[in-house]
Structure 1
Amino acid sequence: MDGFVQFMEEKFVPVASKIGAQRHLVAIRDAFMVTMPMMILGALAVMFNNLPIDAFQNFMASIFGGEAWKGFGGSVWNGTFAILSVFIAFLVAYNLAQGAGKDGLAGGAISLGSFFALGGALGMSSTGLFIAIIVAIVSGELFIRLIGNDKLVIKMPDGVPPAVARSFAALLPAMIIISLFGLVAAIFAAFGIPDIVGAFYTAVQEPFMGLASTYPSALLIAFITPFLWFFGLHGANMIDPFMQTINAPAIEANVTALAAGDVAPYIVNKPFIDSFVNLGGTGATFGLIIAIYLVGRKNKAFNVVNNLSAAPGLFNINEPMLFGLPIVLNPIMFIPFILAPMILVSTAFWATKLGIVPAATFMPPWVTPPILGGFLATQSISGAILAAVNLVISVLVYIPFVKISVMQELKREQNA
């Protein structure tokens, strides 16, 4: 195991670090971090309108008459999920430009104009996320290169306010970039594709979401995040751009299908992973905390770290455990840290696939404690029960390795 760790440190970690710091992925990740409060609010509005309790639905209908009471939730949805792609189109380009030392506001505004020029008004909701990201990256890169070209700068006389000078500095790059996307839209329209966003969603994004919702992909997601964390790399941040592009459309599609009485098409999404797999954080480390309380009391160092990690772990913050125990680069903990999430994702996937538990249609805040998160994500008691069962499984997976760690530590103390 020591040889494996040394090999991975030398060969894998440098490559993974470069991927994690790749500026386009960082820009996408940071953009979705900004939109997270709006996504949670939109999910709350959806849950409010579609709470599967007949007594609640009948009570609201009797007070407000018919479906009128759902107007509030619908309005909140219009201000969140319905314009999610607009936020992303602006924020990704903004982050790219800022990272390159350019005018982030101008870069974001030009990207937003380019998105609408390409037909973004037809795909402002989560269905247009892929197109929004592509437009933001392309327009952002063009802006970074054009804004530094002296031939494209309109010189303003001295005394002109800086804000006015900056707007004129971005004038010609904006005209070129937005016109370019308008030209692309015109070419597609000439070939009989007026709705580029809709066509792209049908041809690429929807099949991609279906692929990402398979059991092998669920296993891969459960594996890759703790694997990266074992080497000290923030695995959740590194795969977040991938997860977020399928997240909002998948939740939206699940809600629509369930409202129509159909089977939810997408099992794997962020609330699914957060509520049933990452119990206490990546690696299901709340199970490790309980396991140490059960069988690790003889190790004083474990107890100190465990007591400090328990409260944050309840809210899925496990950095104290990852670096304090530690789990990072700990060969003994490597196996359960990888194994536990893969077992949990298997039980959760098949419980959902077989209809034992409803699909995740609501995105609780990622700091929602285990079990409660399962209830909120699925809006059902069965979701809470599944989360509880998975928590017990994680404890059982960690117990043998905690015992081994305690035995080794006791031997070291005796030798010392």
Structure 2
Amino acid sequence: MDRFISFMEKKFVPIASKIGAQRHLVSIRDAFMVSMPMMILGALAVAINNLPIDAFQNAMNSIFGEGNWQAFGGSVWNGTFAILSVFIAFLVAYNLAKSYGKEGTSAGAVSLGAFFALGGANGMSSTGLFVALITGIVSAELFVRLIGNDKLVVKMPEGVPPAVAKSFAALFPAMIVISLFGLFAAILAGAFGIPDIITSFYEAVQKPFMGLANTYPSALLIAFITPFLWFFGLHGANMIDPFMQTINVDAIEKNIAAIAAGDPAPYIVNKPFIDSFVNLGGTGATIGLIIAIYLVGRNSKAYMVVNNLSAGPGLFNINEPMLFGLPIVLNPIMFFPFILVPMVLVTVAYFATKSGIVPPATFIAPWTTPPIIGGFLTTQSISGGVLAAVNVLISTVIYMPFVKVSTLQQIKREEEAAAEAE
């Protein structure tokens, strides 16, 4: 194991660190983080509108009139999910330009223009998400390079307000970028007969990609990658977040629509699913590790100090104190359970959902929602909370023998240190 860790530190960690800090991935991740409150609100409004409880639906119809009460949820959806791709197109370009030290607002505005030049009006919701991401990246890269060209700057006389000067500095770069996207759209429509880029791209790329991401092997891969990266001190959740977010919103929308129509939900794997049934207490389901230490690791003072400090944050799925304090990072004994537990939990949750024992996740709860409560909220079902509780129990049982071994070693080290001190 020591030889393996040494090899990974030398060969794998430097490459993974570069990927994790890659400016385009960081820009995408930060864009989704900013839009997360809107996604939570939109998901809540849609879930309430389509809550599959006849007594609730009948009560609301009798109080407010048939379907009238759903106008509020519809309006909230129009201001959140319905324009999500517009937010992302702006925010990705904004963040990317800022990473280059350029003016982000202008880059974001240009990205919006480019997105609509491609026909963004047909895909402002999650269906246009991939196109919005690509547009944000490409338009920002072009804009950043053009705005640094002195030949394209409209020089203003002294005394002109800075805001005005900035807008004129971006004038020609903005015109060029948006025109290029408009030309690209015209070529696709005229030469290739593709007038609706958003819909065509969705059917060709995004929809099949979501189907692939919804499989059990992909769920297993997600459960493996995140703790594997964290074991080497890399923020695994942040590194795969751009991937999760691109399938997340559309999958939830399709699930809600299918359930409202009386059909089975088409997508099992999404971010709420992973957060509520796999990342219990944080990556590696470390809430189970905390419980295991309380059960079989109480003889080690050092472990108990770390555990007591980690228990509070762990209830809200924050486990950095445990990862670096116990530690789990680069700890050979904890490598196996830290990787195994999420893979077991995702297996249990996937097949429990697929078999219909537990409803699919259709609500985006904040990732800091405590375990078990998160399972109930995301599925809008008591069975979701029960599944989360079962997974907490499973994680505890798997961690216990490793905690026992690790504790014995820690106690031995503590006794040797005490003997040396004497």
TM-score by length of 2: 0.97
Does residue 288 (structure 1) correspond to residue 325 (structure 2)? The answer is no
Cα pair 2:47 2:256 within 8 Å, conserved: no
Question: How many Å apart are 1:71 and its aligned residue?
Answer: 0.6
**Secondary structure of residue in 2 paired with 1:167:** helix
Match of 1:85 in 2: 85
User: 1:27-86, CA deviations, whole angstroms, 9 ceiling, x for partnerless residues?
Assistant: 001111100111111111112112222211111011011111011111111111110000
State how far apart, in whole Å, the 1-side matches of 2:328 and 2:235 are. 13
Q: Which amino acid aligns with 1:318?
A: N
Instruction: Give, in whole Å, the separation in 2 of the partners of 1:314 and 1:50.
Output: 30
Q: CA deviation at 1:185?
A: 1.2
Amino acid at match of 2:392: L
Counterparts in 2 of 1:202-281, with a 5 A limit? 202-281=203-282
| 1:167-197 deviations in Å (ceiling 9; x for gaps) | 0110001111101111111112223221110
Query: Which residue is equivalent to 1:407?
Result: 408
Distance in 2 (CA, whole Å) between partners of 1:368 and 1:171 is 45
Question: Percent of aligned positions with the same letter in both sequences?
Answer: 79
1:199 deviation in Å? 0.7
Q: Which amino acid aligns with 2:12?
A: F
- The aligned amino acid for 1:176 is I
- 1:62 corresponds in structure 2 to 62
AA partner of residue 142 (structure 1): L
User: Which has the higher mean CA deviation after the structures are superposed, 187-196 or 297-306?
Assistant: 187-196
The alignment yields a C-alpha RMSD, in angstroms, of 0.8
CA contact (8 A) 2:52 2:260 kept: no
Gaps of 5+ in 2: 418-422
Aligned-pair CA distance for 1:413: 3.0
Partners of 1:304 and 1:49 in 2: CA distance: 47
- Offset of 1:407 from its aligned partner? 1.1
Does the Cα contact within 8 Å between 2:290 and 2:310 map onto a contact in 1?
Answer: yes
What residue is the counterpart of 1:135 in the other structure?
135
In structure 2, give the amino acid aligned to 1:259: A
**Which residue is 1:392 aligned to?**
393
Unaligned runs of 5+ in 1: none
Q: Which residue of 2 aligns with 1:364?
A: 365
Map 1:316-331 → 2, pairs under 5 A: 316-331=317-332
Output the CA distance in 1 between the equivalents of 2:254 and 2:109: 29
Q: Distance in 1 between matches of 2:410 and 2:323?
A: 18
Give 1:336-375 correspondences, 5 Å limit: 336-375=337-376
Q: CA deviation at 1:411?
A: 2.2
- d(CA) in 2 for partners of 1:413, 1:136: 54
Q: Deviations over 1:331-381 (max 9, x none)?
A: 111111000000000000111111111111111010111111111111111
Q: 2:52 & 2:386 partners in 1: Cα distance?
A: 17
The one-letter code matched in structure 2 to 1:340 is: V
Any idea what SS the aligned residue of 1:282 has?
coil
Aligned to 1:104: 104
The one-letter amino acid paired with 1:140 is A
Where 1:68 maps in the other structure, the secondary structure is coil
- Name the residue aligned to 1:197: 198
Q: Does the Cα contact within 8 Å between 1:5 and 1:329 map onto a contact in 2?
A: yes
Q: TM-score, normalised by structure 1?
A: 0.99
Moved more, 149-158 or 394-403: 149-158
Q: Is the 8 A contact 2:110 2:178 kept in 1?
A: yes
CA distance in 1, matches of 2:414, 2:29: 44
Q: Secondary structure in 1 aligned to 2:91?
A: helix
1:382 aligns with 2:383: yes
Task: Write the letter of the residue equivalent to 1:28.
Answer: I
2:291 partner letter: I
Give the corresponding residue for 1:94. Answer: 94
- Work out whether residues 214 and 268 of structure 1, in 8 Å CA contact, stay in contact via their aligned partners in 2: yes
Runs (4 or more) in structure 1 with deviation over 4 Å come to none
